[in-house]
């Protein structure tokens, strides 16, 4: 059996889809499972040994360069690549119009959410078979239930993200236990107050953990450097690619992050993780895993420093 999964973005959504691979692999050990994903997140399915070919797509980048000849050549090459293999099932677990149109480029029986279950109901028109999956359950569970409905296997398989972080050598890291602080996110209203981060960083140092601050673009790095200057003994990570960030998180005794895909990565790696919600509700998309995972706060009700430190102490004891 050959299966193509379509889950393109964003980082957290892609991570939420990893258990589908584990479920399929346990149900069909001989299956070949490929995955179409945005190029920026292609390293995530590559971490799962159950994934065969990763087919990157660059919709985000193409949208910004539709007038360029190179963009149209890349789009042509993508259509050729995704269409060259005959799949038994093409499964779109994203439920968006863009993901449904990508699924249409592939050969095989295309399956996805029914209109009343999809995030964008129009997507359902492009599938050969649709399935009604409850909308009021966590995204991880929705993905798994959809796959189970399509392939008719039991829903009682244990949750397994199936990934292991690559080994990383970090000569810049001090020895001893680490706490990775994921302070950056895609929207400013999701940020936690920098004074709160400083208080948490100092408390972690007092417990013998070195706070490590990864960052991406320039503004994120400036924030990390401000926090490190205020919390003497913490470390700003150098620029890292996603596999290196995964390796860093895997070495940590604790990860604390705002509403960001990297918090979900920590959960997938079974690193104790606290996810802090300031402007969003974690009920359907919060961190989910089989290790120590906690979602704190919610839309308009950010967690307090004391709440975070209390739960962090529980995580470290666990």
CA distances from 30 to 52, 161, 248, 295 (A): 12, 19, 33, 37
d(CA 208, CA 275): 21
pLDDT band at 234 (very low <50, low <70, confident <90, very high): very high
Mean pLDDT across the chain, nearest whole number?
97
Measure CA of the first residue to CA of the last residue in the chain; give whole Å: 41
Lowest mean pLDDT among 31-40, 163-172, 208-217: 163-172
Reported confidence tier of residue 13, pLDDT bands at 50, 70, 90: very high
- Beta pairing class for 32-38 and 235-236: unpaired
Look at the block and give the residue holding tokens 């379509």: 6
CA 260 to CA 272: how far, in whole Å?
Answer: 15
Mean per-residue pLDDT, 296-302? 97
Residue 200 pLDDT level (bands cut at 50, 70, 90) = very high
* Cβ–Cβ under 8 Å, residues 2 and 86: yes
The band of 63, judged by pLDDT with boundaries at 50, 70 and 90, is: very high
Contact 276, 296 (CB under 8 A): yes
How many residues does the structure list for the chain? 318
Dist. CA 184–CA 153, nearest whole Å: 39
Tokens 């129009």 sit at which residue? 122
Beta bridge partners of 199: none
Quote the CA–CA distance of 203 and 221 in Å, as a whole number: 22
| Helix (H/G/I), strand (E/B), else coil: 71 | helix
Cβ neighbour number for residue 68 with a 10 Å cutoff: 11
β-strand pairing of 178-182 with 293-297:
unpaired
Lowest average pLDDT, out of 13-27, 120-134, 156-170, 185-199, goes to 156-170
Sorted by where each starts, the structural domains of the chain and their CATH numbers stand as 2-151 (3.40.50.2000), 178-317 (3.40.50.2000)
Q: In 3-state terms, what secondary structure has residue 250?
A: helix
State the pLDDT at residue 166: 87
How far, in Å, CA of 208 to CA of 236, rounded?
17
Strand order in the sheet with 210-213: 235-236, 210-213, 178-182, 254-258, 273-277, 293-297
**Looking at residue 155, what is its pLDDT?**
87
Q: Once rounded to an integer, what is the mean pLDDT over residues 149-164?
A: 95
Distances (CA, A) of 239 to 74, 78, 315: 28, 29, 28
**Which pLDDT value is given to residue 57?**
98
Average pLDDT in the 257-281 region?
Answer: 98
Q: CA-to-CA distance for 289 and 82, rounded, in angstroms?
A: 31
What confidence score (pLDDT) does residue 202 get? 98
pTM for this entry: 0.96
The structure tokens 């008719």 sit at 152
Give the pLDDT score at 52.
98
Residues 243, 219: Cα–Cα separation, whole Å: 22
Task: Count the neighbouring beta carbons within 10 Å of the beta carbon of residue 219.
Answer: 11
pLDDT digits (tens, 9 = 90+) for 23-55: 999 999 999 999 999 999 999 999 999 999 999
């Amino acid at each position: 059996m050959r299966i193509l999964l379509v889950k393109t973005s964003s980082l957290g959504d892609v991570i939420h889809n990893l258990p589908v691979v584990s479920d399929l692999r346990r149900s069909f050990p001989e299956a070949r499972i490929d995955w179409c994903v945005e190029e920026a997140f292609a390293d995530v399915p590559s971490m799962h040994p159950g994934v065969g070919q990763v087919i990157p797509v660059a919709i985000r980048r193409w949208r910004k360069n539709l007038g360029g000849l190179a963009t149209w050549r890349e789009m042509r090459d993508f259509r050729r690549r995704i269409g060259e293999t005959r799949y038994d099932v093409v499964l779109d677990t994203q439920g968006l119009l863009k993901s449904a149109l990508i699924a249409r480029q592939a050969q095989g029986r295309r399956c996805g959410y029914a209109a009343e279950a999809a995030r964008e109901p129009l997507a359902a028109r492009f599938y050969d078979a649709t399935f009604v999956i409850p909308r009021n359950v966590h995204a991880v569970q929705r993905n798994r239930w959809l796959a189970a409905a399509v392939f008719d296997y039991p829903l009682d398989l244990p949750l397994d993200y199936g990934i292991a972080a690559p080994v990383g050598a970090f000569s810049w890291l001090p020895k001893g236990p680490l706490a990775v602080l994921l302070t950056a996110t895609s929207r400013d209203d999701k940020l936690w107050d920098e004074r709160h981060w400083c208080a948490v960083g100092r408390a972690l140092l007092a417990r013998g953990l070195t706070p490590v601050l990864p960052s991406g673009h320039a503004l994120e790095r400036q924030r990390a450097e401000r926090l490190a200057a205020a919390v003497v003994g913490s470390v700003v990570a150098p620029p890292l690619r996603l596999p290196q960030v995964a390796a860093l998180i895997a070495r940590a005794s604790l990860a604390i992050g705002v509403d960001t895909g990297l918090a979900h990565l920590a959960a997938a790696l079974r690193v104790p993780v606290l996810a802090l919600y300031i402007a969003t509700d974690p009920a359907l998309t919060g961190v989910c895993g089989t290790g120590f995972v906690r979602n704190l706060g919610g839309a308009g009700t950010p967690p307090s420093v004391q709440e975070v430190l209390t739960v962090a102490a529980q995580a470290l004891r666990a």
